[in-house]
């Protein structure tokens, strides 16, 4: 059976047509997410993703056979089959499965269920996708794209420089508190996934642009009033004219706009493009994999090792191009 010919817009429309979330399912989801946050310290973005997946299942179920609390393995099979038929990707299915396993593990732990119906569900086979890194000349063009005559352009230059210099995730960059930056010592304190902190050294170039932003742009963007605390309770480092930090979506839009100015193919740009480029360029220049793991904030070395494949591809292309028998 082939998948239904639906686009992402079709799937969003389909999700909107599902019945509204029932109060008992909403309460169960909230109770479980609160427990996951308290016991495991999961990041807000992870909890938000779990919430969307669990609410989607609950709305599709619409209280049948006890709703979310009573769903069995067959019901989960049916839901995954429905999603596959309507074109949800294996990667999306993998995220759903992570949410289900975390959710039902909590339900079993609290004694609300005797067993986890997701325990024997097979994980989808995911294609190995290598991070897309820019070459160094493209990085230079991208960093030079913002208009430095405007406060926002100077802010954007500082953000791009910092993301590339420190290998930050987009969420880490836009949520940086002002107190995390220590230009005198040249270090940045970053709170990553699972609320884990790491110290990242800053190079002279990124320090230069951060200092210019703080001296020339931020006072103009902030005005005379004090900058309010963000959702994390701390004053943000990067702000706009509304004195609020940019969202991940807004920053992604900025990167795409500056990529167009720099003449970079949009297919070569991803939300984490500068982070991937940071890691790839360090490996190409001989960085140690363990050191790279610490700089990126990966909990497992296997996650960092994906960049060795990118670096190996780069070396193979160089050999093929320059070696007389390549």
Residues annotated as part of the active site: 169, 193, 272, 275, 298, 307
Q: List the one residue out of 171, 168, 156, 172 whose CA is nearest residue 262.
A: 156
Distance of CA 176 to the CA centre of its chain: 14
User: Is the distance from CB of 79 to CB of 60 less than 8 angstroms?
Assistant: yes
Sign of CA dihedral 236, 237, 243, 249: negative
Can you read off the two tokens belonging to residue 232? 């994390």
Distance, CA of 90 to CA of 125 (rounded, Å): 7
Can you read off the two tokens belonging to residue 246? 């940019």
Supply the DSSP symbol for 234.
Answer: S
- Catalogue the long-range contacts made by 237-244 (C-beta closer than 8 Å, 24 or more residues apart): 237/176, 237/177, 237/178, 237/180, 237/181, 238/155, 238/158, 238/159, 238/173, 238/174, 238/176, 238/213, 239/155, 240/152, 240/155, 241/152
What b-and-e string marks burial along 26-50, b requiring 16 or more CB atoms within 10 Å of the CB? bebbeebbebbeeeeebbeebbebb
Report how far apart, in Å, the C-alpha atoms of 46 and of each of 33, 77, 260 are.
Answer: 10, 23, 31
Distance of CA 286 to the CA centre of its chain: 27
Can you read off the two tokens belonging to residue 316? 């193979």
Beta strand pairing status for 181-182 and 197-201? Answer: unpaired
What b-and-e string marks burial along 141-167, b requiring 16 or more CB atoms within 10 Å of the CB? bbbebbeeeebbebbbbbbbbbbbbbb
């Amino acid at each position: 059976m082939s998948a239904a010919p639906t686009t992402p817009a079709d799937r969003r429309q389909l999700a909107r047509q599902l019945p509204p979330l029932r109060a008992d399912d909403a309460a169960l989801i909230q109770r479980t997410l609160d427990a996951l946050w308290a016991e495991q310290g999961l990041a807000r973005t992870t909890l938000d993703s779990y919430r969307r997946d669990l609410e989607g299942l609950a709305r599709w179920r619409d209280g049948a056979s006890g709703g979310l609390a009573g769903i069995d393995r067959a019901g989960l099979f049916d839901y995954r089959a429905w999603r596959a038929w309507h074109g949800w990707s294996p990667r999306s299915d993998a995220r759903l499965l992570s949410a289900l396993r975390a959710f039902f593990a909590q339900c079993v732990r609290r004694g609300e269920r005797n067993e986890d119906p997701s325990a024997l569900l097979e994980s989808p086979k995911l294609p190995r996708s290598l991070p897309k890194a820019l070459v160094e000349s493209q990085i230079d063009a991208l960093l030079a794209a913002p208009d430095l005559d405007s406060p926002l352009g100077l802010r954007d230059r500082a953000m791009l420089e910092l993301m590339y210099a420190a290998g930050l995730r987009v969420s880490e960059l836009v949520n940086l508190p002002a107190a995390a930056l220590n230009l005198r010592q040249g270090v940045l304190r970053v709170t990553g996934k699972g609320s884990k902190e790491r110290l990242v050294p800053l190079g002279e170039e990124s320090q230069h642009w951060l200092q210019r932003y703080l001296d020339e742009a931020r006072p103009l963007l902030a005005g005379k009033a004090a900058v309010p605390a963000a959702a994390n309770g701390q004053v943000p480092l990067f702000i706009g004219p509304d004195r609020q930090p940019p969202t991940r979506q807004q920053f992604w839009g900025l990167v795409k706009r500056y990529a167009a100015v720099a003449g970079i193919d949009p297919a070569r740009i991803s939300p984490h493009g500068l982070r991937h480029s940071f890691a790839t360029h360090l490996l190409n220049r001989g960085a140690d994999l363990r050191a790279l793991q610490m700089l990126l904030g990966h909990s497992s070395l296997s996650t960092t090792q994906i960049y060795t494949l990118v670096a190996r591809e780069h070396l193979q292309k160089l050999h093929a191009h320059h070696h007389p028998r390549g």
